[in-house]
Amino acid sequence: MDQSAGKKPSELRARFDAAMRGLAAIYALPWPQRFGLGVFGVLCGLALRLAFQSIPGDRLAYVTFYPGAEIAALLGGLASGLAAVLSAATVHLWFAPLRDAGDWVGFATFSVSTVAISGIAEALHRTWGRLADCETQRDDADRLLAANKRLLESEERFRAVVSSAMDAIIAIDAEQNVILFNRAAEALFGFSAEEVIGTSVDRLIPERFRAAHRGHVKRFGESGEITRPMCQRAPIQAVRANGEEVQVEASLSQCVLDGKRIFTVIMRDATERMRAEAALKEADRHKDEFLATLAHELRNPLAPICNGLQVLRRSGVDGPDTKRVYALMERQAGHLVRLVDDLLEISRISRGKVELRKERVDLSSVIGHAIEMSHGLIEAAGVELFVVIPDEPLLLDGDAVRLTQIFANLLNNSAKFTDPGGRIEVEAKREGGEAVVRVSDNGAGIAKDMLTWIFDPFAQVGGAGARNKGGLGIGLALVRKLLELHGGSVEAKSDGEGCGACFLVRLPLPALEAGSDGRPG
């Protein structure tokens, strides 16, 4: 109950304010419209007089005009009141001229009261108008104060974000003088904000780059772009307060505030990242050198071992046990040779020391040679091989030996991970300007999370269990690297473990010369 009592004055105030605004709106009308309001009121009174003419006759001369005229005077002010008096007098005299003192008294009473009411209404209207203007000004002031408060809060948030940002933020004007320098910028450059703000940004740039930097910012301002990275190829150079140069990554943006162009640079120190990248590259180079050295060192003793086996086999020593041992030793020596050769291949490719001997070759012959190379492993695995090759020749510009190695590695991979009785399919076809070869199987499949890095060197599918299949995880890495050297690509697909795998190889087809029959010359 107390709450409703508390609300009632505020509701009444709101209604009163609404009424005042309505009256002020009427008073704001031009005087011809307010004049017409008085005439309209008298016409309403005339209609009432005509309706009741038979009852009072002419005894109530101005009674019917009073309601409309006084209301018009109240609402429209002086202009409406005068219009009501003149129009009522005209209408009444038209019906019944003034004959005696009573008529004159009635006319004078009507005129004086109407003019008086209109004068009072005029004064009230002016007061209400001023009150309405004050109310409007108060509302405008409240909105302005609220907007200023929001602006101050936004500026405080902006300052807090800029101040606490981990990246250096520097703003410069069109003359490239610093107007903002946050704490991270102070830490990066060794200057305080007070030292830098108002000075040229040139002091943060090595002298040999200042002209280029000024030109870059000027062209960016004229380009109409909103933002642009400043270090697309490599980090840019900056200079600290002590004269030390530092590599930074930076992005540049621009906006126009109050007709002035402002440039904002956000940068971070790239020195540690560059050092880490250099260290990684150096470690990778050492790794490649180690692999190459290891492969050579392993291959040196392998040659005499293989030759010794051949000599022992030819020496005539016979017997079932001896033959079994010879076969075992030869298989293991051959396997070791292949591992060492793969290590040498991946090392050469990583160091860019592989040169392709390109010539025009037919894809069908390449796939045929790859099947011959993998025939022993496929047969030993007990899987079936199905090959679909189009009748039309698919000619490639490539190294026949390396291309054969690509498809042999894919076939060997499928044979290793497909159980006996399984199936391997090879299908080649033309798709636009590419030759597409699909090597698929219904074997162990590949986990979804491994599809993205299955072609990385030394990647092993299935963890420790996969190592029982043999190999160092180099075969598929060689496939991708050799295809990239040929301008091609490879993609692995699988629905998951136990669902088989599919490898899609794409190689560009050369444009055939006019008059060529489509076969290698």
**Backbone φ, ψ for residue 492 (5° rounding):** -100, 140
pLDDT band at residue 410 under the 50/70/90 scheme? very high
Of 8-22, 113-127, 288-302, 453-467, the range with the highest mean pLDDT is 113-127
Contact 116, 82 (CB under 8 A): no
Residue 36: Cβ within 10 Å count:
17
Q: Is 170 helix (H, G, I), strand (E, B) or coil?
A: strand
pLDDT given at position 388? 92
Domain boundaries, the chain: 2-143, 165-269, 276-350, 359-508
Tell me what the mean pLDDT of segment 286-297 comes to.
66
Q: Could you check whether 276-350 and 359-508 share the same CATH topology?
A: no
Strands 359-362 and 245-257, by their bridges, are: unpaired
- The answer to whether the CB of 48 falls within 8 A of the CB of 37 is no
Dump pLDDT digits (tens) for 28-42. Answer: 566 566 556 656 666
Can you tell me the distance from the alpha carbon of 284 to that of 294, in angstroms, rounded to the nearest whole number? 15
pLDDT at 513 over 50: no
pTM as predicted: 0.45
Residue 520 is predicted with a pLDDT of 40
Q: Check pLDDT > 80 for residue 43.
A: no
Instruction: Say how far apart CA 170 and CA 162 lie, in whole Å.
Output: 10
Q: Which of 160-169, 284-293, 389-398 has the lowest mean pLDDT?
A: 284-293
| 276-350: CATH topology | Helix Hairpins (1.10.287)
pLDDT tens figures, 327-380? 666 666 666 666 677 666 766 766 666 778 889 999 999 999 999 888 888 888
69-83 pLDDT, tens per residue? 666 666 666 666 667
* Residue 11 pLDDT > 80: no
Q: Is residue 503 over pLDDT 90? A: yes
Tokens describing residue 111: 């005129």
Domain 359-508 has CATH 3.30.565.10: yes
Please state the φ and ψ torsions of residue 364, each to the nearest 5 degrees. -65, -40
- Percent share of the chain, pLDDT over 90: 14
At 49 the pLDDT is 61
Distance between CA 305 and CA 324 in Å, rounded? 17
The SS3 of residue 360 is strand
Question: Is residue 413's pLDDT more than 80?
Answer: yes
Q: How far apart are CA 172 and CA 227, in angstroms?
A: 14
Task: Find the mean pLDDT for residues 268-277.
Answer: 82
pLDDT band at 491 (very low <50, low <70, confident <90, very high): very high
Indicate the pLDDT class of residue 464, thresholds 50, 70 and 90: very low
* Mean pLDDT value across residues 448-463: 73
What is the average pLDDT value for the chain, to the nearest integer?
76
- Among 195-209, 303-317, 452-466, which range has the highest average pLDDT? 195-209
CA angle, corner 87, sides to 86 and 88, nearest 5? 95
Q: Are 418 and 424 in contact (CB under 8 A)?
A: yes
- As a whole number of angstroms, the distance between CA 460 and CA 464 comes to 8
Give the bridge partners for 503, in sequence order: 439, 492
Q: What pLDDT is stored for residue 52 in this prediction?
A: 58
pLDDT for residue 506 is more than 90: yes
Q: Which range (1-5, 116-120, 331-335) has the least confidence?
A: 1-5
- Summarize the confidence of residues 476-501 as an average pLDDT: 89
String of DSSP letters for 214-252: HHHHHHHHHHT-SEEES-SSSPEEEE-TTS-EEEEEEEE
Percent of the chain with pLDDT strictly greater than 70: 58
Contact between 64 and 49 (Cβ < 8 Å): yes
Please report the pLDDT score of residue 385 as a whole number.
93
Task: Determine the Cα–Cα distance for residues 64 and 70; give it in Å rounded to an integer.
Answer: 11
Q: What is the mean pLDDT of residues 146-160?
A: 80
Fold of 165-269: Beta-Lactamase (3.30.450)
Report residue 424: phi and psi, to 5°.
Answer: -120, 135
Spell out the residues 6+ positions from residue 481 whose beta carbon is closer than 8 angstroms to its own.
346, 349, 350
Q: CB-based contacts of 345: which residues, under 8 Å, 6+ apart?
A: 354, 474, 478
